[in-house]
Amino acid sequence: MKRRPCTSMVKHSVTNMGCGHSKDHPKNVDLVKLRKKYDTEPIKKAKLLNIWTIGGNSQKTLALAKLISEKLEFLLVTEDSLLQTEMDAESERGKIIKEVVEDKSNICPSVILDLVAEFVLENLEGVKGIVFHGIPRDREQAWQLQRLIGPVSLVVFCELTGEELMTALAEEGDEPSVVKTKVDNFQKCVLQFAKHKTIMKVDGTSEPENVIEEIVEKVHSIAK
């Protein structure tokens, strides 16, 4: 796939979503100061299918997202890969991101969407859809992501029971109180996404290979 250079023409930008006053990490203020504006019209005109994968077991949802992108030949966009690429570049922004990540804090949501815009613009040629993992994180970011890419086409929810969800999140090595907070936040997030009529629930304990065919079939039906 031929890569398209990222553009920084002043046309559209993602709103700050409170980033300038973020309590997660003081360096988020510096990240906001480095933000650019992008010509995102090419993304909107491409009318891409917009697929989100969510679930408590991050490893399995990531594996499923990768499989969906491979089967459908869609672009895969994950928060972790975007952040890692920026940190590896050792840009001014990347160095600040690294500092925030190493402090185990959250990156400002609209900065994440800036990285999404850059990556999609660079790889837009020939793309018919995008599979997201780790993005969006909440209702506001979900709304902004749809402004950037277009309406969500399908939310694939890898469903776990309460106990399974606790176990999956506990495997990340956090304290019980942190795990409890993560569970509560995740459940709120799911309730927000469940309002979309495009949500598709699959067994979160199944291997991706066991659920991929029904997902591909669903996406094909949406694309018609």
Q: Structural domain of residue 170, as residue ranges?
A: 19-223
Does a structural domain hold residue 8?
Answer: no
In a domain, 13, yes or no: no
Evaluate whether residue 54 is within a structural domain: yes
Domain assignment of residue 10, yes or no: no
CATH code at position 163: 3.40.50.300
pLDDT digits (tens, 9 = 90+) for 184-198: 665 666 666 656 668
Indicate whether 35 belongs to any domain.
yes
Asked if the structure places residue 147 within a domain, the reply is: yes
Question: Residue 8: is its pLDDT beyond 50?
Answer: no
Mean pLDDT check: name the lowest of 20-34, 86-100, 148-162, 171-185.
Answer: 171-185
Q: 108-127 pLDDT, tens per residue?
A: 998 999 999 999 999 999 99
Number of domains within the chain:
1
Q: Specify if 197 maps to a domain.
A: yes
Model-level pTM? 0.82
3 state SS for the chain: CCCCCCCCCCCECCCCCCHHHCCCCCCHHHHHHCCCCECCHHHHHHCCEEEEEEECCHHHHHHHHHHHHHHHCCEEEEHHHHHHHHHHHCCHHHHHHHHHHHCCCCCCHHHHHHHHHHHHHHCCCCCCEEEEECCCCCHHHHHHHHHHHCCCCEEEEEECCHHHHHHHHHCCCCCHHHHHHHHHHHHHHHHHHCCCCCEEEEECCCCHHHHHHHHHHHHHHHHC
Residue 11 domain flag: no
